[in-house]
Each structure stands twice: as C-alpha cells, then as structure tokens.
Amino acid sequence: MKPLPPLLLILACLATPAGHARAFPDPGQKPAPGNEQPQVPLSQAGYRPEVNYQLQCAGCHLPQGQGAPANDVPNMIGFVGNFLRVPGGKEFLVRVPGVAQAALNDEQLAALLNWILRRDGIAGDSTPADAQPYSADDVAAIRHRMMDNIPGTRAGLIRAMRDQGIDINDGMPASTP
C-alpha cells in the first residue's frame, strides 16, 4: 500500500470526527467529581508515615517491605535496622535515591524512616534498642549529598555487618554468603 501524500494526510486528520480522542485538553472541560480543588503536593498533604510508605516506597519494596530481589530491591523485613549498627549506615538510609528524592519534606521523611525502623514494624528486632530516631534536621543535613557508588557503598556496609556477625537476610543474591 502506497503512503498518503502529506497534504492528503493533513486533510484526513482534519476531517476526523470530533468524537475521537483529542490530542489537546479541552480548556472548558470540568474536573471529575472530587477533583474540583487543585491537588495538594505530597509534602504538604500531612499523611501519616504508613500512608507515605505506601505512596513512596511500596512500589519497589512492596506493601510489607519484602522487596523484589529480581529487581535489585532488597527485603527490609527484620533486616533494615541493621544499617544503624554500622558506621555510615544511618546516613546511607537517607541517601538511597528513592529516599533522598522522595516527594516528602524533611520532617515527613524523618517520620517515615522512624516508622520503618520501629522495632514493632518492618525493621523488627534488627533495629538496635538504643537507636536514635531521625530528626528533620538530620534528614536535611544528609539527603542532598549525592552518593557516587550506591552498590559499592551498600556492599561495604554489608561487609561491616558481616564483620560484626550480623546475619544478612536481605534477599539480595550478592549479599548471600
């Protein structure tokens, strides 16, 4: 089949009935019910940490923190608190790109990290009993410092955990003995 000449193609597009999908939004279109007000940015929404987890973390780490090792996303359940046991681990958790770039303000991000690291939550007993919670100031001081080598940094922290005799159960193939 021979392609249409450009002028004929333009005329065919112009003759398309108005009922077909538009490429440009209709400025006079009314919002769907419930969407009459502009959306509030997540950093101003005031959601609880567990809601922010579902909105910001569960897409990769899954709803309970089980991770997806096939996609290089580690399991956090009963493990993530171990990062607080090694030098640089507390900073690492803030600097992980998904955390550092979350659409949350520093206070919300600190609350989210503290929620994840609760001993009765995702981190379980892996969080040291004497762990100091994150503050908004902690997060602000750390989150904007880019990490050059995420896998290498993480591998060094895992080695430090192993040196302390910590069982590595994050589900990652490179982390298994």
The domain ranges of the chain are: 46-165
Q: What local confidence, expressed as pLDDT, does residue 25 receive?
A: 72
**Residue 114 to residues 7, 27, 108, 117, Cα–Cα distance (Å):** 62, 44, 10, 5
Tens of pLDDT along the chain (177 residues)? Answer: 677 677 766 776 666 665 555 567 777 888 788 777 877 888 888 899 999 999 999 999 999 999 998 888 999 999 999 999 999 999 999 999 999 999 999 999 999 999 999 999 999 999 999 999 999 999 999 999 988 899 999 999 999 999 999 999 888 876 655
Distant-in-sequence, close-in-space partners of 125: CB < 8 Å, separation ≥ 6: 78, 81, 119
How many CB atoms are located within 10 Å of the residue 170 CB?
A: 23
- The pTM score is 0.77
Q: Residue 68: helix, strand or coil by DSSP?
A: strand
- Indicate the CATH number for domain 46-165: 1.10.760.10
Q: What local confidence, expressed as pLDDT, does residue 100 receive?
A: 94
Q: Where on the phi/psi map is residue 153: left (φ > 0), alpha (ψ -120 to 50), or beta?
A: alpha
Q: What local confidence, expressed as pLDDT, does residue 20 receive?
A: 55
Question: Measuring CA to CA, which residue among 47, 60, 25, 168 is closest to residue 105?
Answer: 47
Q: What local confidence, expressed as pLDDT, does residue 155 receive?
A: 94
**CA neighbours closer than 13 Å in the CB half-sphere of residue 175:** 24
